[in-house]
Amino acid sequence: MPTTRPAQINPKMFRDGWQRRLLCIFSCSVGLLLADAVQAQNATFVTSAMPVRILVGAPAGGTTDTMARSLAQALGTQLGRTVVVENKPGAGGNVAAEMVARAVPDGNTLLMSFTSHAINASLYPSLPFDPIKDFTPLTMVSSSPSILVAHPSLPVKNVADLIRLAKEKPGQLNFAIGALGSSLHLAGDSFKMKSGLFIVNIPYRGTAPAVQDVLAGQVELMFAAVGNAQAHIKAGKLRALGVTSPQRLPAFPEVQAIGETLPGYESSAWFGLFAPGRMAPELARRLSDAARVAIQSPEVKRRIEMEGAVPAGNSPQEFAKFVEVEIARWRSVVQYSGAKPE
């Protein structure tokens, strides 16, 4: 009878098979550990007794501070946590941004930032953080178009009039600038870049003294936040020439959008909520959802609109894409302006 040989085992196939099994076991174990870690992180966030801090890179009383404080209480209600606002001004918002970039991504430290988050990426030669990689975008809180105003003595009624006058008098008209490198400064430089006008910038240390000199007729023109100019326009102390939003504003339906005369022009400040980078997606989604519900609450919407802003509340994915586009958009304006950090 023929003898039956035992089946030969290929050592390489045997070894590869065990390696695949071990790799599968390891991957599953890591996945379970990560899932447990995420659940533990969420549970820790929900039950933590410490307050959630929203850091603001601007002084108390400014628009960014107001946006954060408008949101804090409603956000706390949604999260079941106490939410406090801490002002950390300095370096155009970079002091607060660096603190959040270096914070543990456990949901307890957030950043209310503004347009400077995108502008600073080009304005500062080097930053101690990456404005994209070191942050988790949660949602845009609001957007705030500005308004181009003139002293009533200037013989112009709209943007077309201003362009004609500025071409007749190159270098003889002035823009009051509340802060070099700010969104309002670059709104003016973007206007000059698109129109080809030569209008001189007069820098001030703050918006208030800039507005006062325009009211006094010391400087003819200014791009101002709607909230800062609204009362003066209605009192006839300033003349509104155009708004920086794509469409006219309901508060000033008779004031044209600058883009109606200067196609493609648009410049709006924005305010957004960020967390530290590398945050667990589930926790980021929880924070984003809570913030978006809070933004749409009647009280928060009312407070935002009182500042002349428009409530937003987009998704984290939409906000992340928006920030990337903003960084690229402002780069050319910063280069044109030649602005340097103060």
Predicted confidence band of residue 206 (pLDDT cuts 50, 70, 90): confident
Quick: pLDDT tens for 118-159: 999 999 989 999 999 999 999 999 998 999 999 999 999 999
Quick: pLDDT tens for 246-260: 999 888 999 999 999
Q: Is the pLDDT of residue 342 over 50?
A: yes
The residue count of the chain comes to: 342
Give residue 340's pLDDT: 80
Do the beta carbons of residue 79 and residue 290 sit within 8 Å? Answer: yes
Through-space distance between the first and last CA atoms of the chain, rounded to whole angstroms:
98
Give residue 28's pLDDT: 56
Neighbour-count burial of 294, counting CB atoms closer than 10 A to its CB (0-12 exposed, 13-18 middle, 19+ buried):
buried
All structural domains of the chain: 46-144+269-337 (3.40.190.150), 145-261 (3.40.190.10)
Give residue 34's pLDDT: 46
Give residue 38's pLDDT: 47
Write a three-state SS string for the chain: CCCCCCCCCCHHHHHHHHHHHHHHHHHHHHHHHHHHHHHHHHHHHHHCCCCEEEEECCCCCCHHHHHHHHHHHHHHHHHCCCEEEEECCCHHHHHHHHHHHCCCCCCCEEEEEECHHHHHHHHCCCCCCCCCCCEEEEEEEEEEEEEEEECCCCCCCCHHHHHHHHHHCCCCCEEEECCCCCHHHHHHHHHHHHHCCCCEEEECCCHHHHHHHHHCCCCCEEEEEHHHHHHHHHCCCCEEEEECCCCCCCCCCCCCEHHHHCCCCCCEEEEEEEEECCCCHHHHHHHHHHHHHHHCCHHHHHHHHHCCCEECCCCHHHHHHHHHHHHHHHHHHHHHHCCCCC
Supply the Cα-derived Rg of the chain in whole angstroms.
26
Residue 186: partners with Cβ closer than 8 Å, 6 or more residues away: 119, 267, 330, 333, 334, 337, 339
Quick: pLDDT tens for 218-240: 999 999 988 889 999 999 999 99
Residue 56: partners with Cβ closer than 8 Å, 6 or more residues away: 64, 65, 68, 85, 86, 87, 88, 89, 96, 111, 112
Per the confidence metrics, is the pTM higher than 0.85?
no
The residue whose two tokens read 């936040």 is 225
> How far is it, in rounded angstroms, from Cα 93 to Cα 27?
41
Lowest mean pLDDT: which of 16-30, 33-47, 73-87, 160-174?
33-47
Give residue 20's pLDDT: 66
The average confidence (pLDDT) of the chain is: 88
As a whole-number percent, the residues of the chain with pLDDT over 90 amount to 69
